[in-house]
Amino acid sequence: MSGPKRDLVGIEPMSRADIELTLDTAGSFAEISERPVKKVPTLRGKTVVNLFLEPSTRTRTSFEIAGKRLSADVINISGSGSSIAKGESLRDTLRTIEAMSVDCLVIRHSSSGSAAFAADLLSFPVINAGDGCHEHPTQALLDLYTISTALGRLKGVRVVLVGDVLHSRVARSLMLALEKVGSAVTVVAPPGLIPSDVEQYGVRVAPVLDDVLPSADVLYVLRVQKERMGRQFYPSDREYASLYGINKTRLEALPKKSLLMHPGPVNRGVEIDADVAESGRSLIDKQVTSGVAVRMASLYWLLGGTPAA
Ligand code: NCD
């Protein structure tokens, strides 16, 4: 690849065309995961390091699978097994990785801005796999890919986003992405869990969930992020569930063809009931499947591989 290096730090700097190109590329990579031999030589000889300094199941595993399906060598580093646990700084860890001729870094970190810090420091592409409460761009891209595969369009799709928007990097990236592709987003959350600047994302805020369910094409439920809450934002889980939790009655209040999404992991019985998460309208498993194709597409564009075989 020639020219300046590219990074995927957030949805914010992406154009609608960039987003559409990634989704189209994901569409052509999705089929590789259906083959008996799920591997193409596209990124042979490239080394991708997954540096995950916060817990993760879906994102870390799907980046690893995506890299391996494209024949890259993938190395996983976690906080507890690395020298970060001995007190090494993020800067020193990044420089150490750079000294080993790596081609791409995927980073998850609890501090907002850490992915941009890595992208500025390193001479090779950086992908943000979630930085604090800031952005999680590949999650938004996989959500768009899932919606467009299920509904055949993104423009004009009405999305109701319910839950802990304040602490959610998923919500931030998703609101930015949905606005760019022309979807209409309504946010519903306990007042303390709505960011004060939410209107800059071009969304509408609605106070009562039950009022907006009948006009949702997609109901997107966010996890209550207790690990990021320094104080109590609502009286109790029971009260949260009664006002904002998705149960069978709420699911039935949606139009017949509407779909349910959640980025995972799910707090069953708080933001969503167990039987609802597993209902036929739930796209939760499809979101996970889409994650592999979208991350293959992201690695492909940043590393400038050759077309899939
Ligand atoms: C999200 C994350 O880590 O930001 N999960 C994910 O990547 N699938 C959402 C969450 O933890 O609630």
Which ligand 1 atom is the nearest neighbour of the CA of 170?
Answer: 4
Asked if pLDDT for residue 50 goes beyond 50, the answer is yes
Q: Which amino acid is at 74?
A: V
Choose the residue to mutate in 161, 170, 173 for probing ligand 1, maximizing ligand atoms within 8 Å of C-beta.
170
Q: Which residue has the higher pLDDT, 65 or 229?
A: 65
Residues making up the chain, counted from first to last: 309
Residue nearest to atom 12 of ligand 1 (CA): 223
Q: Is the CB of 169 under 6 A from ligand 1?
A: yes
Residue range 146-164, pLDDT digits in tens: 999 999 999 999 999 999 9
pTM across the whole model = 0.96
Q: Which amino acid is at 51?
A: L
State the distance from the centre of ligand 1 to the C-alpha of 106, rounded, in angstroms. Answer: 15
State the distance from the centre of ligand 1 to the C-alpha of 265, rounded, in angstroms. Answer: 7
Residue range 91-117, pLDDT digits in tens: 999 999 999 999 999 999 999 999 999
**pLDDT band with cut points at 50, 70 and 90 for residue 90:** very high
State the distance from the centre of ligand 1 to the C-alpha of 264, rounded, in angstroms. Answer: 6
Q: Is the CB of 170 under 6 A from ligand 1?
A: yes
CA–CA distance, 275 with 266 (Å, rounded to integer): 12
Least confident of 9-23, 76-90, 130-144, 215-229: 76-90
Range list of β-strands (E), 20-168:
47-52, 73-78, 104-109, 126-131, 158-162
Residue for token pair 């004060």: 196
Residue nearest to atom 7 of ligand 1 (CA): 59
Percent of the chain with pLDDT over 90: 88
Instruction: Name the residue among 138, 130, 166, 171 with its Cα closest to residue 261.
Output: 171
Choose the residue to mutate in 110, 136, 262 for probing ligand 1, maximizing ligand atoms within 8 Å of C-beta.
136
Residue 309 has a pLDDT of: 47
Q: Is the CB of 228 under 6 A from ligand 1?
A: no
Q: Is the CB of 172 under 6 A from ligand 1?
A: no
Token readout for 76 is 């996983």
